[in-house]
Structure 1
Amino acid sequence: MIQLENITKEFKTKKGIVKAVDGINLHVKKGEIHGVIGYSGAGKSTLIRCVNLLERPTTGKVLIDNVDITSLSLNDLRKTRQKIGMIFQHFNLLKTATVYNNIAVPLKLLGYNDSEVKNRVAQYAEIVGLTEKLDSYPSQLSGGQKQRVAIARALAQEPEILLSDEATSALDPETTDAILELLLKINRELGITILLITHEMNVIQKICDDVSVLESGKVVEYGSAIELFSKPQHLTTRKFLNTISQRNLSPSLIKQLNVSGSVIRLTFLGESTGKPLLAEVSKVYDVQPNILTANIIELKNGIVGNIVVHLHGEAHVVEKALNYFTENGVAVEELGGELNE
């Protein structure tokens, strides 16, 4: 659906050339929700603006449905952009226009007649839950309602792709959850492909199928949400995961617990999350597991459980216990220098 090929974006500054996006290759499949996560300054906003050419890449190609839009004429590019809706962090609403007109104005500019405009505004206001607010002004709305107006405005053009530029970062947690549920509904019921950028791991957790981790303008890790949550490879990914679950132990906690010897991270996926394997292993082998930290994370397409455990026992018996976990579908990772990562 969206294919980015060797996308680079450079900006000229007083200090020289700044490369905000550095040779990114990215594939967003039709019908999925693809998340791009990174810290401030990683190049996320520049990247997503390259998709609809609000920022024209310095080098590389942007393919939408196998068409390189960087080579299109201005007129053809306008037509293609009608397939791509976009929502922003700060809503970008017309302050002096009602909710109805905020949704209607882009349709009128595209030449739709009054009847079609009225039908579409009503349809998409209902989808986002704002039917009762059509005569209200932005100043009379909450932050979540303003974002719903922005989403309805983007949907009214009936795009095939929806770009989300930090759409929940200005919202409180409860409102964020409501907007994420709305995006899931849009993806599921309307079949719209969604590419979103965020610096919040809980956004990735709740709605994304695939994830790209961005750092210094480059993709440093890519995979399904389940892969990244269960087997993060890059340090940046592991830092993000630590913001929603205590995967690692601080030196002070290790000292307080008087931990030494075999400290293991066990990652449970799928069926293994429902098995009492820790209880069973202590019955089968002469080891005593001491749970140091544990959590379970519900993703869009599955469940990931993590337990950091200290195994007491003879080394050769501990090894057998670890093999037992592996045979039962549990990923085993011995923690040494990573304990305070």
Structure 2
Amino acid sequence: MIELVGISKTFNGKQGPIHALKDVSLSVKKGEIYGVIGYSGAGKSTLIRCVNLLEKPDQGSVKVKDEDLTKLSTNQLRKARGDIGMIFQGFNLLKTATVYDNIAIPLKLTGLDKENVKERVERYLKIVGLEQKHNAYPAELSGGQKQRVAIARALSFEPEILLSDEATSALDPDTTEAILDLLLKINKELGITILLITHEMNVIQRICDRVAVMENGEIIEEGKTKDIFTAPQHATTKKFVSSLFSHNIPEDILANLNKTGQVVTLSFFGETSGEPALAKVSKEFDIYPNILAGSITQLKDESFGQLVVHFQGDQEIVQKALQLLENNNVKVEGVTLDDSHTGVY
């Protein structure tokens, strides 16, 4: 559906060239929700703006539905953009226009007749849950409602692809959850492919099928959300994942516990998150597991949890118990003093 190959983009800054993108390639499949995460300055905003050529890359190809947008004429590009909707962090609503007109005016400018404009506005306001807000003005809406109007406006062009540029960054946690649920609904019921960028790992965790991690204009890690959460490879990826599992254990306590046993992090995924794994090993082996910290989160389709556990007992028996856990699809990682300095395990 979307294929970026060898995308590079450089801007001229006051202190010299800024290499926003460096030979970036990624592929988004039809019908999936693909997330790009990175800290400020990673290049993700430039990347998503290259998809519809709001930013034209210096090098590389941008293929949407097997058509290279970089090779199209102005008129051809305008037509191709009809299949690509976009929503932004700042909503971009007309302050002096009603909710209805904020959606209707762009449609009218395309030459759509009045009857079809009305039908589309009503249809998509209903989808986003604002059918009672036709005559309201943006100043009368909450942040979440403004974003819903922006989403309805993007959907009214009936695109096959929806680009989301930090669409939840300005919203409070509860409103963010509601907007993410709406994006899931749009993806499932309308079959729209979604490419989103964010700096919030909870957004990736909640709705994305696959994710790319960006840093300094490059993709440093990419894969299924499940794989990125269970086995992050790059230090930056690990930092993002650990932001959802921050288990702070005082260094002096950790040092003492390691003298009397072994402290490990246990990661559970899917069905294993609901299994009484610790009860099994404590029953089978002469050891005493003590849970120090833990949390569980819901990915798009499955749950993922972590526990920091102190195993007290004979070292050889503890190793056998840990091996049994691994044999039952529980990931086991050791916790050291070096880990504790970051406060994240």
Across the aligned residues of Structure 1 and Structure 2, the Cα RMSD in angstroms comes to: 1.5
Partner Cα separation in structure 2 for residue 258 and residue 338 of structure 1: 14
- The Cα offsets for residues 159-193 of structure 1, whole Å up to 9 and x where unpaired, read as 00000000011111111111111111100100000
> What one-letter code is carried by the residue in structure 2 that aligns with 1:207?
I
Measure the CA separation in 2 of the matches of 1:198 and 1:180.
Answer: 12
The alignment covers a number of residue pairs equal to: 340
SS at match of 1:50: helix
- Partner in structure 1 of residue 112 of structure 2: 112
Q: Which amino acid aligns with 2:290?
A: N
How many Å apart are 1:327 and its aligned residue?
1.1
Partner of 2:341: 340
Gaps of 5+ in 1: none
* 1:181-210 deviation digits (Å, cap 9, x = unpaired): 111110010000001111111111111111
Q: Please name the residue that 1:308 is paired with.
A: 308
Q: Which runs of 4+ in 1 moved over 6 A?
A: none
Query: Alpha-carbon deviations, 1:208-254, whole Å to 9, x = none?
Result: 11111111111111111111121111111221122222256453653
How far apart in 2 are the matches of 1:39 and 1:26? 18
Structure 2 unaligned residues grouped into runs of 5+: none
CA deviation string 1:82-131 (max 9, x = no partner) = 00000000100111111111101111111101111111001001111111
Identical positions, percent: 58
Does structure 1 residue 325 correspond to structure 2 residue 325? yes
Letter matched to residue 24 of structure 1: V
1:289 equivalent in structure 2: 289
SS in 2 for 1:82: helix
Contact 1:242 1:248 in 2 (8 A): no
2:52 corresponding residue in structure 1:
52
Give the Cα–Cα distance (whole angstroms) in 2 for the partners of residues 111 and 254 of structure 1. Answer: 68
Matches within 5 A, 1:3-14: 3-14=3-14
TM-score of the aligned structures, taking structure 2 as reference length: 0.95
CA distance in 2, matches of 1:115, 1:193: 28
* CA distance in 2 between partners of 1:254 and 1:288 (Å): 16
Instruction: Measure the CA separation in 1 of the matches of 2:231 and 2:113.
Output: 52
Q: How does 1:123-134 map to 2 (within 5 A)?
A: 123-134=123-134
One-letter amino acid of the counterpart of residue 173, structure 1 = P
For 2:53 and 2:250, the matched residues in 1 are separated by 44
| 3-state DSSP of counterpart to 1:131 | coil
Q: CA deviation at 1:338?
A: 2.8
Question: Which deviates further from its counterpart, 89-98 or 285-294?
Answer: 285-294
The equivalent residue for 1:78 is 78
Native 8 Å contact 2:257 2:310 kept in 1 = no
Question: Which position in structure 2 is the counterpart of 1:36?
Answer: 36
2:132 aligned counterpart, secondary structure: helix
CA distance in 2 between counterparts of 1:229 and 1:248 reads 19
Distance 1:55 1:250 in 2: 47
